[in-house]
Chain A
Amino acid sequence: MTTSGHLLLVDDEPQILRALRPALAAAGYEVTTAENGAAALAHLASEACDVVILDLGLPDMDGKQVIAHIREWSEVPIVVLSARDLETEKIAALDLGADDFVNKPFGVGELLARIRASVRGRDRRLSGQAQFRSAELEVNFATRRAFVQDQEIRLTPREYDLIRALARHAGRVVTHKQLIAAVWGPQATVDAQFVRVLVAQLRQKLEENPAAPRVLLTEPGVGYRLATDEDA
Chain B
Amino acid sequence: MSDMISNWVRRRPRLVGYASAILVVLLANLLALIVAEGLGYVRVSMIFLGGVLVVAVLLGSGPAYLAAVLGFVSYNFYLVEPRFTFGVESEDIIILVVFLAVAMMTGGLAGRVRDDAIRAQERARTSGVLFQAGRDFAGMDEEAEIAQRLATGLAEAAQGQAVVLIDGRCFAAPDQDPPDTLIDALAALEAPGATSAKVGDWRLRNLWAEGRRLGAAAWRSDDEPDGAQLIHVLLDMGATSVARARLSRAWAEVEATDRTQSLRNALLSSISHDLRTPLASIQASASSLRAFGDTFDAEVRNDLLDTIQEEAERLNAFVGNLLNMTKLEAGALAIQGVTFEMAESLDRLVRRFERRRGGRMIAIRVEGDRLAAWGDPILFEQALANVLENALRFSPEQGTVEVSLQRRDDMLIVEVADEGPGVRADELARIFEKFYRSPSANTNLQGAGLGLSIVKGLIEAMGGKAIARNRDDRDGLVVALILPSAKS
Contact = CB atoms under 8 A, between A and B. Distances in A.
A105 B277 CA distance: 8
Interface stretch (A15-23, A64-72, A125-133, A178-186): A15-23
Interface in A106-157: 106-109, 111
Contact of A105 (B276, B288, B296, B304): B276
Interface centre among A23, A26, A27, A83 (most CB of B within 10 A): A23
A12 B307 CA distance: 16
B90 interface: no
Given A83-B273, A108-B288, A19 B281 contact: yes
Contacts of A104: 276-277, 279-280
A193 B205 CA distance: 52
B285 interface: yes
Contacts of A23: 284, 287-288, 291-292
Contacts of A83: 269, 272-273, 276
A105 B291 contact: no
Contacts of A108: 284, 287-288, 291-292
Contact of A18 (B273, B276, B279, B281): B281
Contact of A16 (B284, B292, B295): B284
Nearest to B288: A23
Q: Counting chain B CB atoms within 10 Å of each CB, which of A13, A85, A105 scores highest?
A: A105
Contacts of B273: 57, 83
A23 B295 CA distance: 10
A22 B280 contact: no
Contacts of A26: 288, 291-292, 295-296
A170 to B, nearest CB: 23
A86 B358 CA distance: 30
B303 A15 contact: no
Contacts of B288: 19-20, 22-23, 26, 108
Interface residues of A, number: 26
Given A83-B273, A85-B272, A106 B283 contact: yes
Interface in B266-310: 269, 272-273, 276-285, 287-288, 291-292, 295-296, 300, 303-304, 307, 310
A59 interface: yes
Contacts of B6: none
A159 B136 CA distance: 69
B2 interface: no
A14 interface: yes
B354 to A, nearest CB: 15
A22 B296 contact: yes
B7 interface: no
B376 interface: no
Contacts of A15: 277-278, 281, 307, 310-311
Interface in A93-111: 104-109, 111
Interface residues of B, number: 29
A20 B284 contact: yes
Interface in B466-481: none
A93 B272 CA distance: 20
Contacts of A41: none
B94 interface: no
B194 interface: no
Contacts of A49: none
Given A20-B288, A23-B291, A83-B276, A13 B281 contact: yes
A58 interface: yes
Interface string A5-35: 0000000111110111011001100000000
A16 B280 contact: yes
Nearest to A107: B287
B442 A105 contact: no
Contacts of B358: 14
B444 A58 contact: yes
A22 B277 contact: no
A18 B307 contact: yes
Contacts of A57: 273, 444
A22 B444 contact: no
Contacts of B291: 23, 26, 107-109
B445 interface: yes
Interface of B: 269, 272-273, 276-285, 287-288, 291-292, 295-296, 300, 303-304, 307, 310-311, 358, 442, 444-445
19 contacts: A13-B280, A19-B280, A19-B285, A19-B288, A19-B307, A22-B300, A22-B303, A22-B304, A23-B292, A27-B292, A59-B444, A83-B269, A83-B276, A104-B276, A104-B280, A106-B284, A107-B284, A108-B288, A109-B291
Q: Which 6 A-B pairs have the closest CB atoms?
A: A107-B287, A23-B288, A59-B444, A105-B280, A26-B292, A105-B283
Given A15-B307, A106-B284, 10 more contacts: A13-B280, A16-B280, A19-B285, A20-B288, A22-B303, A26-B296, A86-B269, A104-B280, A107-B291, A108-B288
